Amino acid sequence: MRLSIGLFVAAMVFTPSVSAAPADCARSARDLEARLTLVNGSADQDGAYRMIYLAARKGVEECPDSEPLGYLAARLAELGYDQDPRVQVPSEEAKRLAKRLSERHRASARLATVEARFAGDVESARRAVALDKSYGPARLALAMALLSTGKASEALPLTSRETKAPVSERVVRARILMALGRFAEAASAVQQRRTSASAEPEVWAPNLLERDEEEVLGLALSKAGRPREAKAHLQKAAAYGSAPASAALKGIAK
């Protein structure tokens, strides 16, 4: 049934009426969240995620007060699924959607985090953290914003050294360690333990999570003077569309 996963998702997505009741909206959000777990390992992941995005986007219009539907729409747009085919760089439309939904749901740390990543500034990330200090992705958004301003030393303590930390967190930690010139530690941070997208605190398409993981591992190994090991990881990342990995491969002798 792998070939029909996209059609299966399309047939079972959001269906309430224009005047959907809150209970219908909540049920539809739960159904879409459940559909996400069915996509992993499918033959057409991008197609299935695109279908879920379209359903969530429709849900946002019919259930404007539903934060879960708003988050799904904003996050999947951030991952590039608002376009067909999926884009590597988020569209301006995705940015506008995140801003609109974040303003609609001002108490949502999840939506504030998506908007903060689009904004890329420290102030926006701090606002997301202030909404929910326990929400890891907001903390990571702040770490990346600090890194972008050259404050790697301030960003590093915001990431966990735990081997059980989600892949997304260890990728951010590795990027910060690389900025500090600690390349061997950066590679170790990503190599410690592999987890699945289902273990992440945010919605992630597995292929995109693996892209980032392989990219940062390959770059760290390359900078650590281990080009042979780096090459295989960079090739995997490049196959998933990583421009930094593709550029790094050109500098590694065949």
Q: What pLDDT shows up at residue 170?
A: 96
Q: What pLDDT shows up at residue 253?
A: 64
In whole angstroms, what separates CA 149 from the centre of its chain?
Answer: 21
Task: Out of 5-9, 65-69, 193-197, pick the least confident.
Answer: 5-9
DSSP symbol at 16: -
Q: What pLDDT shows up at residue 2?
A: 42
Q: What pLDDT shows up at residue 43?
A: 81
Q: What pLDDT shows up at residue 167?
A: 93
Q: What is the mean pLDDT of residues 8-34?
A: 72
For residue range 24-83, what is the model confidence (pLDDT) as tens digits? 999 999 999 999 988 876 788 899 999 999 999 999 999 999 999 999 999 999 999 999
Q: What is the mean pLDDT of residues 183-209?
A: 85
pLDDT score of 222 more than 60: yes
Two tokens, residue 207 = 């292929």
| SS3 labels along 21-82 | CHHHHHHHHHHHHHHHHHHCCCCCHHHHHHHHHHHHHHHHHHCCCCHHHHHHHHHHHHCCCC
Q: What pLDDT shows up at residue 42?
A: 78
pLDDT score of 194 more than 90: no
pLDDT score of 7 more than 50: no
* Contact status, residue 133 vs residue 106, Cβ threshold 8 Å: no
Query: If you search the block for the tokens 């747009």, which residue do you land on?
Result: 77
| Mean pLDDT rounded to a whole number for the chain | 90
Q: What pLDDT shows up at residue 193?
A: 61
Cβ-count burial of 218 within 10 angstroms (0-12 exposed, 13-18 middle, 19+ buried)?
Answer: buried
Task: Out of 13-22, 135-144, 160-169, pick the least confident.
Answer: 13-22
Q: What are phi and psi of 170, to 5 degrees?
A: -70, -30
pLDDT score of 11 more than 60: no
With CA atoms as reference, report the closest residue to 101 among 67, 134, 130, 76: 67
Q: What pLDDT shows up at residue 19?
A: 53
With CA atoms as reference, report the closest residue to 22 among 57, 62, 56, 55: 62
Q: Helices 206-223 and 243-250 sit at what angle, rounded to 10 degrees?
A: 30
With CA atoms as reference, report the closest residue to 87 among 179, 199, 205: 205
pLDDT score of 244 more than 90: yes
Q: What pLDDT shows up at residue 136?
A: 97
Task: Give pTM, 2 decimals.
Answer: 0.90
Q: What pLDDT shows up at residue 10?
A: 47
Length of the chain: 254
Q: What pLDDT shows up at residue 195?
A: 57
How far is 108 from 188, CA to CA, in rounded Å?
34
Q: What pLDDT shows up at residue 39?
A: 86
Q: What pLDDT shows up at residue 20?
A: 73
